[in-house]
Homo-oligomer: A and B are copies of this chain.
């Protein structure tokens, strides 16, 4: 699907990289809403050049987050390898939110309806898939509240995004209370 366009000119490739690096840093530090001008400034590139390479904020998102979201698969696999269904499920949540807590941008990405980047969307779906399996296992084992659904998990994720934003050191406590309420 990658339209094999002619390779970029050397300076263009360099600028593109600098932009990606700057954007990745700023998304992680300040969240998804950093002004594009700040990204250009940190990349030491003009705003016009930024728009040439990434006409849309979502173009940045599409380039940056898929690899970060790969971590989702990693923790998913890890959880699936855990034999105890409850520990698997609860551990998954803990790992997931630890990820969010480390990266303000990722926190934003997972908390919003958004983003128009298909790659990001599909990564999220894979994540939801893992979570679904873990939930089913826990349900089958009778350790998870019987009426719990994926939609509840989405709600939790947005709530956790908020908790992480305002008390980055207390989210584990909040989560553990909620998770306790989930157990049967």
List residues of A whose CB falls within 8 A of some B CB.
Answer: 145, 151-152, 155-156, 158-163, 166-167, 170, 173-174, 176-182
Shortest Cβ distance from A151 into B: residue: B170
For A179, what are the chain B residues with a Cβ–Cβ distance below 8 Å?
A: 181
Specify the main secondary structure of chain A where it touches its partner: helix
How many Å from the CB of A150 to the closest CB on chain B? 13
- Chain B CB within 10 Å, residue with most, of A151, A160, A180: A180
Shortest Cβ distance from A156 into B: residue: B174
Give the copy number.
2
Shortest Cβ distance from A180 into B: residue: B181
Q: How far is the CA of A159 from the CA of B157 in the complex (A)?
A: 11
Can you report 11 residue pairs joining A to B where beta carbons are below 8 Å apart?
A151-B170, A155-B166, A155-B174, A156-B174, A158-B166, A159-B160, A176-B181, A177-B182, A178-B181, A179-B181, A180-B181
How many Å from the CB of A175 to the closest CB on chain B? 10
Contact B155 A163 (CB under 8 A): yes
For A178, what are the chain B residues with a Cβ–Cβ distance below 8 Å?
A: 177-178, 181
For A182, what are the chain B residues with a Cβ–Cβ distance below 8 Å?
A: 177, 180-181
Q: How far is the CA of A152 from the CA of B156 in the complex (A)?
A: 16
Contact B162 A158 (CB under 8 A): yes
Shortest Cβ distance from A179 into B: residue: B181
